[in-house]
Amino acid sequence: MTHKKTAIASVICSAALIMLLGGCAILGTGTEKSAASDIFDTWTADAVSSIDFSLNPQSIYVTLYDKAQISGVVAQIRVLKLGERIDEWRDSEGQTVGFNMRKADGEFIEIYIYGSDVVINGQGYKTENSEPCYELIQIGNDIGVDYLANPDKYRNPNPPAETSVHLAAYNNYKCEAAPVSPSEATSAADLLDESVTRAI
């Protein structure tokens, strides 16, 4: 009788273990989801120094330096709730909005919005709250319209040192260049203007 009870207890324990493991396999441990949700913890508005913004298929690419714009973008990104990982975004068509954020120390994170899906550093996620995605799309559309109307507003307020060198060279050229014909002067100035624009 003792052996029979022991055998029954062993079967019950085995069944309980199988059910427990099966439940874990179905529900998952939650580790991936938790890790994904923590991605944005250190990406605060104060920490982000600039955002490389893109809007496609309109082919608009511009870097955001304005703190108010950065704060608006970061506020929506930080409330995203990431769900399951997906790969369907690779076949997505239609509008894509990119907010690739950079910190002062060079740390970088790539974020693209495809409807209610999000791609972070090449990994796609479903979102559990689509509202921030649509807010980010609207922000992106507003930035695109504003950039086309006011491109000078989006210049880097603190250009790198090499840009200053280009500007100095340009100013020296305008002041000290030998006299040339009006047509040659216009052509040369146009070329320098173009090079300075590219540098900026």
157-172 pLDDT, tens digit each:
887 665 444 434 434 4
Instruction: Name beta bridge partners: 86.
Output: 124
Q: Average pLDDT of 116-137?
A: 93
On whether both 25 and 62 belong to a single domain, the answer is no
On whether both 12 and 107 belong to a single domain, the answer is no
On whether both 149 and 178 belong to a single domain, the answer is no
Residue 10 amino acid letter: S
State the pLDDT confidence band at 189, using cuts at 50, 70 and 90.
very low
On whether both 103 and 185 belong to a single domain, the answer is no
On whether both 149 and 185 belong to a single domain, the answer is no
CB under 8 Å, gap of 24 or more: what pairs does 58-61 form? 58/144, 60/143, 60/144, 60/147, 60/148
pLDDT, mean over the chain: 73
Among residues 48, 82, 43, 83, the alpha carbon closest in space to that of 65 is found at: 48
Number of domains in the chain: 3
On whether both 84 and 173 belong to a single domain, the answer is no
Q: Average pLDDT of 80-99?
A: 85
Task: Look up the domain containing 62 and give its range.
Answer: 39-154
pLDDT exceeds 90 at position 1: no
Place of tokens 């002062």: 104
- Percentage of residues in the chain having pLDDT higher than 70: 60
On whether both 59 and 82 belong to a single domain, the answer is yes
Q: Average pLDDT of 73-77?
A: 95
On whether both 148 and 170 belong to a single domain, the answer is no
On whether both 114 and 66 belong to a single domain, the answer is yes
On whether both 174 and 150 belong to a single domain, the answer is no
On whether both 104 and 71 belong to a single domain, the answer is yes
Going through the chain in order, the beta strands assigned E by DSSP cover 48-56, 60-64, 82-86, 96-103, 108-109, 111-114, 117-120, 123-127
pLDDT exceeds 70 at position 9: no
